[in-house]
Structure 1
Amino acid sequence: MTSGAARVSAFAGLLDQPLSRYIPGNAPTATVKLLEKDLGITTVGGLLDYAPRRYIRRGHLQLLSDLIAGERTSFVARVESSSTRRMQRDPRRSLTDVLVSDGTGASLKITFFNAYTAQKELPVGTHALFTGKPELYRGYLSMTGADYAVVDTPDSVTDFTSQSGEVYPIPVYPERGKLTTPRITRAVQQLLLTADLDSLTDPIPQHILERETLVGLAQAYRDLHRPESVDAFQAVQERFRYQEAFVLQTELARRRHEHASQPVAERPARADGLLSRYDAALPFTLTDGQQAVGEQIRAELAGTAPMNRLLQGDVGSGKTVVALRAMLQIVDTGGQAAMLAPTEVLAQQHYDKIVTSLGPLARPDQLDGDPDGTKVVLLTGSLPTAAKRVALLDIASGAAGIVVGTHALIQEKVQFADLGLAVVDEQHRFGVEQRDALRDKAGHTPHTLVMTATPIPRTVAMTVFGDLDVSTLRELPGGRRPIHTHVVGLAEHGPAWERRVWALAGEHISRGRQVYVVAPKIGDDAALPPFDSLRGSLLAAQEAGDDGDGPEPATVQWLERLISAQPELRDARIAVLHGRQDPLVKSETMNRFAAGEIDVLISTTVIEVGVDVANASLMIMVDPERFGISQLHQLRGRIGRGEHESTCLLVTRSDPEHPGRERLAAVAATTDGFELAEVDLRLRREGNILGASQSGRKSGLRWISALRDEALVARAREDAEAVIAEDPHLARHTELLAAIGRVVDENSQAFLERG
C-alpha cells in the first residue's frame, strides 16, 4: 500500500511548504509570525488561498491638481484631518469627512456615509490610494464615497501601476490584529516572486480544464493577488469556484464509494412479516411520496451495500411512518433498529407514536399482544434505574427489536445484539461523534437513515450532504388542514390588535381547542419588572428595556403573568414549558397538554421539533423576529395537525422597517417549507452554508454560491463520480488527493460527515 508521504505530489509539495522558506528577512519574518498568530496561516498554500475581499478598480494615477470633475480617477494622498458628524435629517446616520493632500499644495475633501470602517482605517497621517469620481460642489472639487486601499508610502503604489500610469486593480485583504492590507500585500508579493508556481501540478484534470476553459493553477494564483484587469480576476473566480466544487465533490464521491464497498447482510422484506401486517392495518393511505421512498428503502435494505440516505420532508409530511416501515423490515430479518432523537420529549413522543401505531404488534409479551410482534424499548437519561436496567437487557439480548432513545443510546454500556438500521431524527441537532457512536454499536456497518424537517435547497444538499442519497417528501398526508398565518404588527396597529390576539385565544379555548404561546426567552422571576407598572400589555412593556435591537424580548415567565391577567383567559388552564425545567416536569407538562388538561402552553422553542397535539389550533409567537425562517416554520408546524382550522399569529413589536419583518412576511406568505428554504438562503445571503463545523471551527465555502452555482456543482459532481469510478483511491490523481487533504483536514471535515 502506498504511504501518504509517497503520494504527496508537487501540488502538495510547494503549497505545504512553510512560509518562512519563501519570505526571508527580519520584517517579512515578523509578518510570517503574525500570519500564524492572527490567521492561522503557516504554509505557502495557506497564504496563496487567502483571497482579497475586494479590489479597487483601476483608474489613471493623477495628482490632485490635475483632477477633472466627472472623470473617474485614482490618486495617492495623505489624510490631513478626519471628522464625523450626525446627519441633521436622520440623527441615526453619520457622515465622515476626510481631508487629504498629496504634497503638491492641493487638497480634497472626501465624504463617507455611515463609514465606521473609513473612520477607523483612515486616521490622520495615513497614506492611501483613493479611486473615485470628483464632482464640483459650490465651486470646489470634492468626492463622495471613494474606494481606497491603505499603503505604506506614496511610492509603494507603483507596484500596481503600469508604465503609462494606469493602476491595476488593487487587492484589499480581510484584516485582523496587526495584519493590515499593506502588510499582507507585501508578504504575498514576496511569495509570488520567490515561489516557483509553474512547478505546481493542477488538481483539476486537463480535459476538464479545457472543457470549462479554466485558467491554469499558477496563473490563477498570480491573477488572484495581482490581476492586470477585472476580466483576469473574473477568470480566477471561475477557476476557483469550479476547483472548490470539484475537490469537495470528489471527497464526497470517495466517501460514497468507500461506504458502499462495506458489505452488509441482506435484509429483504418478508411477505408474512411485521411490515406487511403493519401496512395492512394502516388506517390511512400512504402518499405517493411515502410509497416511492419506501420502495427505495425496501430495495436498499435488501441489498448487500449499506444504505446511507437522507430523508427530508416538510413539517408533517410523514417521515416517521417511512422510518418505522424501514425499521420493521429490519426486525423481520431478526435485526434491530434504533432511532436517535435529540430531546427526551421527542424520544418519548416517537416511542408513544410507534407503540400506538403498532398496536398488538408492539406487545408480544402481553396478554392482549401479538406473540409474533416485537418489543419496543425507550431509553433516556431520566429513566428510573430499574427500568433502565431492564431496557439495557432487552437491547443486549435482542428482545427489543425497536429501540428509541436520546444520547443515552450511545453510552458505552449500551450493547445491541444485531443493530441493522440506525435512524437519526433531526440530524442537524447531533454531532458527528454521536452519530458515529451509534453506528459503532453495530460492530459492523449498519444501514443509516437520517431525517430532517428543515428542507434543504438543492445546491446545499449536493454540497453538505453529497455523500448521502437524498429522498424528499413533498406531499402532506390527507386530513391536514391549512394553517393561516398573519403578521400582527403592534407598532403600527396599537393596543386594539393586542387585545384582539388574546380574545382570539379565548375563542379557540371556548370551542374546546388549545393554544401555544411561544417566547424567545425563558426569563428570570428576579429580573421581572414590576408587573403593575407595565399595565399588563406587551406594548406597555416595550419601554421596560431596550437591548439595542428593539424592545427587550418577551419571556415565558412574564407572558404567563400577562396572559393570566387577560379577562378572556382568566379561567384558562395555563402552564409553562422551557429548557431549564427538570426532564420529568417537561414530559409531564407535555403529556398533560397532549391529554387536553392544559388550555394554553407558554413555551420557548423546546416545542419546535416533533411535539404532536392534534387539538392545538392556535399558535401565538411573541417577538417572532427573534427567530429565523426555518425555526418559525418548524414552530408553526406544531399546529394544523388535526381536523381543525388552525391559525398562527406572528405578534411583533418591531417597527415595520425592521429587517426581521421581511422574514415574517415570507413565513406568512406560504406554508411551503421548500420555498421558505430558498427565501431563507436568499435573505441570509448564504452566510456560512455549511455552518460551523462540529469541531468548533468554521468550514464554510469560499467561492461557491448556493444561490448561483447549482449547475456548476452538478457538473463537478458528475466529474468527481467519473474520477472515483476509474480511480477509487485516487492513486493516479495524487495532486487531487493532496488538494482534498488541504481542504478537508481533521479540523474541518466534520461537515462532510453529517451523514
Structure 2
Amino acid sequence: MAELSLITPIEYLKGVGPQKADVLKKELQVFTIGDLLTQYPFRYIDRTEFHKIRKLHPDMMAAQVLGRLVSLQLVGEKRTKRLVGSFKDETGSMELVWFQSIPWLQKSLKVGAAYIIYGKPSEFNGQLSITHPEMDLYNPQVKQAGNMSLQPVYSSTEKLKKFNLDTKGIQRLQQTALEAVFRSIAETIPQEIIAKHQLVSHQQALASIHFPSNQKELNQAIKRIKFEELFFIQLKLLNNKQLNTQKFRGQRFNKVGEKFNTFFNERLPFPLTGAQKRVIKEIRIDTNTGAQMNRLVQGDVGSGKTVVALMSMLLAVDNGFQACMMAPTEILATQHYQGLKQLVGDDLVSIKLLTGSTSTKERRLIHQALEEGTLDILIGTHALIEDKVKFKNLGFVVIDEQHRFGVEQRAKLWRKNVIPPHMLVMTATPIPRTLAMTMYGDLDISVIDELPAGRKPIKTVHFFESSRLRMFGFMREEIAKGRQVYLVYPLIKESEKLDLIYLEAGLENLQREFPLPQYKISIVHGKMPVKDKDFEMQRFVKHETQIMVATTVIEVGVNVPNASVMVIENSERFGLSQLHQLRGRVGRGAEQSFCILMSGNKLSKEGRLRLDTMVRTNDGFEIAEVDLQLRGPGDISGTQQSGVLDLKMANLATDQALLTECRNTVIAIFKEDPMLQSEKNYLLRSFLARKSDGIAWDKIS
C-alpha cells in the first residue's frame, strides 16, 4: 500500500475502517488524516509531576503517584461489593477503590508490581483513597505514552463514544496518525519567516500539540499553530486586495470642483470634525489613483458618516459621474433622501429616491433621467439593483449598513458600469480592530471616531425591577418637556409568541400609567405587516405619538431627533452591540438624552459586566472589544456560519498582538515580492493556488 499522507482518507488509517470513518465525518468533519491531526486537544492533564502520598489532599483536582500495589481484596456484598487495593510509596499508604469491572481487574492487576496511578484524591473516615484510578505498569527502561507528559483531552460526543472514540480512543488514533504520516508532514511557511519569528517546524508543532513532553514544548506548538492560522488568513486577504487593485481600474476623480466647494463653503450646516476631514481626504486620494476604491467607513451612531458619503458623491458629480446610495430599508432610504435634500438644497445637484413604493410614473422619469445623465444622485433600496435601472455613467456607490446586503446584490451595482464604480461601504456597528483586520482585511478601513460638536453624550443608568415606578416618573417628566420615548422589549429566539406576550403584558401596564387621551403610543413588532409597521413608525417620526413600544425590529438608523429616552426592558437578555445600537436611537438632537437599562434582580456575572460596560462608556469601539471578549468573533460577525474565520487555535479576542505581527509580515512580503515570484516564497504561491477555489473570500467585503 502507498505511504499515507495528510490527504489520505481517514478510513485508511489503521484502527478506523468504514464505520468509524463515517461517525468521524458526521460528528467532527474529519475526512482525512490531516483533518484528524487538526482536531486539537481542548486541555491537558499534567502527568509531568509525581506527588508523594503524604502530600495528597482532597482539594487537589488530580494527582499522579508512583508506588507499589501491595494487596488486593474483595470487600462487601452485592450492591456494596468493591475491590480495594492497598498502595504504598516511601512516604505512606492509601487505598485504591473500584466498583466496576471487578473480575477483569482481579485478573489483570499484579500485586507487588510498581504502578503509576492517576486520579482525584478523596478522604473517607480519615482514610485517603482514589476511586477508579488510571493504572500504568511502571518500567523505568521504557518511556511510555501517557506517563511523564502532558496528556491531551479531546472533545467527544455520545455517538463517538459508542465506537470507543472517547478522549482515550481519539488519543490512540492521533498517536497512530502521527506515526503513519510524520515523515511526510511538509513545511508550509518559508524558512526565513520561521527563523525570524522563532517558530518550531510544522511537523514538530503537530506532534507537540498532541503529545507535548513539557509546557515549553506545548507553548511553542500553540504559538506556531496560531501564527499559521492568522498568517494564512492575512495572506489570502491581502492577496485579494492586491489583485483587485491590479485587476479593476477605477474612474479617476482628478478635480475638486464647483459643487463640492459650494457645498463645503456655503451649505455645510456645521464644521466637519477632524475625523470626517481625514476620511474625506482618504477617499479623495483613493479616487485619484486610477484603481477602483473599496473602502469601509466605520463610525459610531451619530458620527457624521452621511455627510462624508454626500461629499464623496459630490466629488463624483464634479468629475462627470453619477452616484448612488443603497440602504437596507425603505424608511432608512427615505430618511437619507430627505436629509441629503435638506443639506444640498434644490439647485446644487439633482437627487431622486427610488424604492418599492415609487409610483410607475415617477419610476419612468427616474429611469429616463438616469440614462440621459441628467440625474446626479439616486438614493434607494434594493430597487437600485433591478436590471431596468441603467446609469449613463455610474462612478460612485455608497452602501449603508453593508452587512444587510448579500454579495450578489452588491455585485449587481458593480456591473452598472463598464469600469466598476468606486465603492464606499458604511457601517454604524463598531468592529473590533482584530475582527476588522480579518473580516475586512481586503478593504481599506477608515474610522470616524469623533462626534460632531454640540452632541451631548447619552447618560446611561441601570435600574432593577424595583425601580420601575421611578422609571415611569422620569418618562413623564421628559414627555412633559415635549420629548419622545422608545421602550424596547427583547426578541426571545426560543419563542416569538412569548416575546409578544411580554410586549403585550408590558403594554397593558404602560397604558395604565400613560392613559389616553393625554398620551399616545405607537407599537411596532416583527409579526406586523410591513405597511402597518411603517405607518406606526411614521406616526412616531411625525410626533403624533409620544411613546414607541417595540421589539428589536426598530430600524437601525431611523432618525427621530426629538426622542430623548430609550428604555430597554430585560436588558440582560441583549448582547452588548445590540444594546449600543438601541441606545444610538436617541441622542440625535441638541438636548440631553438618556438610556435606561431595566433588568431583573438576578444577574449572571456576564450580564452584570455587559450592563456595567454600557453605563460606564459610550465608546462603541470599546464596547465592541468587550463584546468580542464575551461572545467570540463568530457570534458578532456571523463568520461562524460563513466559514471565513476557520480558527481552531487562534483567538481574535486574546491574540491581537500576534494578528498584527502576522499582518505586518504579510505586508512586508508583498512589498518586497508583489507576485510572490521568488523561490523563497514558493510555499506561499502554492498555498494561494490551492485555496483559489476554496472558501468564498469575496463574501467578506
Short-chain TM bin: 0.7 to 0.9
Contact 1:579/1:606, CA 8 A, preserved across alignment: yes
Show CA shifts across 1:577-631 (max 9, x none): 2333333333333333222211111112233511111111111111111211111
Alignment match of 1:16 (pick from 7, 30, 33): 7
CA–CA distance in 1 between the matches of 2:602 and 2:14? 56
What SS class does the counterpart of residue 345 from structure 2 fall into? Answer: helix
Show CA shifts across 1:234-279 (max 9, x none): 1100101111121111111101111111211211333323454354
CA–CA distance in 1 between the matches of 2:328 and 2:404? 6
Matched letter for residue 219 of structure 1: Q
Equivalences for 1:493-642 in 2 at 5 Å? 494=466, 497-521=467-491, 555-566=502-513, 571-642=518-589
CA–CA distance in 2 between the matches of 1:579 and 1:274? 41
Task: Give the direction of change, closer, same or farther, for the CA distance of 1:266–1:704 in structure 2 (3 Å limit).
Answer: same
Instruction: Report how far residue 181 of structure 1 moved.
Output: 2.3
Task: Give the direction of change, closer, same or farther, for the CA distance of 1:339–1:636 in structure 2 (3 Å limit).
Answer: same
- The residue aligned with 1:288 is 274
- The residue aligned with 1:209 is 194
Matched letter for residue 483 of structure 2: R
Matched letter for residue 671 of structure 1: N
Equivalences for 1:348-497 in 2 at 5 Å? 348-360=334-346, 370=347, 373-490=348-465, 494=466, 497=467
TM-score by length of 1: 0.78
- The residue aligned with 2:39 is 50
Alignment match of 2:305 (pick from 297, 313, 319): 319
What SS class does the counterpart of residue 396 from structure 2 fall into? Answer: strand
CA–CA distance in 2 between the matches of 1:230 and 1:328? 60
Show CA shifts across 1:651-684 (max 9, x none): 1124145642321121011111122122222233
CA–CA distance in 2 between the matches of 1:671 and 1:317? 12
What SS class does the counterpart of residue 566 from structure 2 fall into? Answer: strand
What SS class does the counterpart of residue 147 from structure 2 fall into? Answer: coil
CA–CA distance in 1 between the matches of 2:534 and 2:514? 29
Instruction: Report how far residue 526 of structure 1 moved.
Output: 12
Instruction: Report how far residue 506 of structure 1 moved.
Output: 1.5
CA–CA distance in 2 between the matches of 1:568 and 1:644? 26
CA–CA distance in 2 between the matches of 1:654 and 1:399? 61
CA–CA distance in 2 between the matches of 1:100 and 1:376? 86
- The residue aligned with 1:708 is 654
- The residue aligned with 1:169 is 150
Answering whether residue 244 of structure 2 is matched by residue 259 of structure 1, we say yes
Contact 2:119/2:130, CA 8 A, preserved across alignment: yes
Task: Give the direction of change, closer, same or farther, for the CA distance of 1:170–1:357 in structure 2 (3 Å limit).
Answer: same
The range that moved more, 314-323 or 380-389, is 380-389
Show CA shifts across 1:335-363 (max 9, x none): 22222222222122112111221111xxx
Task: Give the direction of change, closer, same or farther, for the CA distance of 1:277–1:292 in structure 2 (3 Å limit).
Answer: same
CA–CA distance in 2 between the matches of 1:232 and 1:15? 22
The range that moved more, 212-221 or 439-448, is 439-448
CA–CA distance in 1 between the matches of 2:203 and 2:525? 56
What SS class does the counterpart of residue 409 from structure 1 fall into? Answer: helix
What SS class does the counterpart of residue 381 from structure 1 fall into? Answer: coil
CA–CA distance in 2 between the matches of 1:591 and 1:125? 79
- The residue aligned with 1:683 is 630
Task: Give the direction of change, closer, same or farther, for the CA distance of 1:391–1:134 in structure 2 (3 Å limit).
Answer: same
The range that moved more, 53-62 or 711-720, is 53-62
TM-score by length of 2: 0.84
Show CA shifts across 1:341-397 (max 9, x none): 22222122112111221111xxxxxxxxx2xx4332323334444444444444444
- The residue aligned with 1:92 is none
CA–CA distance in 1 between the matches of 2:30 and 2:651? 24
- The residue aligned with 1:699 is 645
Show CA shifts across 1:164-183 (max 9, x none): 99332221222233243233
- The residue aligned with 2:208 is 223
Task: Give the direction of change, closer, same or farther, for the CA distance of 1:44–1:658 in structure 2 (3 Å limit).
Answer: closer
Alignment match of 2:684 (pick from 722, 730, 736): 736
- The residue aligned with 1:302 is 288
Contact 1:690/1:699, CA 8 A, preserved across alignment: no
CA–CA distance in 1 between the matches of 2:137 and 2:526? 58
CA–CA distance in 2 between the matches of 1:132 and 1:424? 59
Answering whether residue 333 of structure 2 is matched by residue 347 of structure 1, we say yes
How many residues are matched? 661
Contact 1:336/1:398, CA 8 A, preserved across alignment: yes
- The residue aligned with 1:240 is 225
Contact 2:566/2:595, CA 8 A, preserved across alignment: yes
Contact 1:341/1:347, CA 8 A, preserved across alignment: yes
What SS class does the counterpart of residue 607 from structure 1 fall into? Answer: coil
Task: Give the direction of change, closer, same or farther, for the CA distance of 1:99–1:46 in structure 2 (3 Å limit).
Answer: farther
CA–CA distance in 1 between the matches of 2:101 and 2:333? 58
Instruction: Report how far residue 317 of structure 1 moved.
Output: 0.6
CA–CA distance in 2 between the matches of 1:415 and 1:346? 23
CA–CA distance in 1 between the matches of 2:494 and 2:186? 61
Task: Give the direction of change, closer, same or farther, for the CA distance of 1:233–1:702 in structure 2 (3 Å limit).
Answer: same
Answering whether residue 671 of structure 2 is matched by residue 725 of structure 1, we say yes
Show CA shifts across 1:506-536 (max 9, x none): 22111111111111149999968xxxxxxxx
- The residue aligned with 1:533 is none
- The residue aligned with 2:77 is none
Show CA shifts across 1:295-317 (max 9, x none): 11112112211221111111111
Contact 2:40/2:209, CA 8 A, preserved across alignment: yes
What SS class does the counterpart of residue 420 from structure 1 fall into? Answer: strand
Equivalences for 1:72-87 in 2 at 5 Å? 73-74=63-64
Contact 1:337/1:422, CA 8 A, preserved across alignment: yes
Matched letter for residue 140 of structure 1: Q
Task: Give the direction of change, closer, same or farther, for the CA distance of 1:673–1:66 in structure 2 (3 Å limit).
Answer: closer
CA–CA distance in 1 between the matches of 2:376 and 2:285? 20
- The residue aligned with 2:234 is 249
Task: Give the direction of change, closer, same or farther, for the CA distance of 1:250–1:163 in structure 2 (3 Å limit).
Answer: closer
Contact 1:518/1:604, CA 8 A, preserved across alignment: yes
CA–CA distance in 1 between the matches of 2:371 and 2:104? 71
The range that moved more, 412-421 or 263-272, is 412-421
Instruction: Report how far residue 574 of structure 1 moved.
Output: 0.9
CA–CA distance in 1 between the matches of 2:227 and 2:549? 49
What SS class does the counterpart of residue 565 from structure 1 fall into? Answer: helix
Contact 1:564/1:570, CA 8 A, preserved across alignment: no
Q: Which runs of 5+ in 2 are unaligned?
A: 75-79, 88-93, 106-115
What SS class does the counterpart of residue 509 from structure 1 fall into? Answer: helix
- The residue aligned with 2:91 is none
Matched letter for residue 74 of structure 1: Q
Contact 2:301/2:428, CA 8 A, preserved across alignment: yes
Instruction: Report how far residue 286 of structure 1 moved.
Output: 0.6
CA–CA distance in 1 between the matches of 2:496 and 2:31? 50
CA–CA distance in 1 between the matches of 2:494 and 2:187? 59
Task: Give the direction of change, closer, same or farther, for the CA distance of 1:427–1:142 in structure 2 (3 Å limit).
Answer: farther
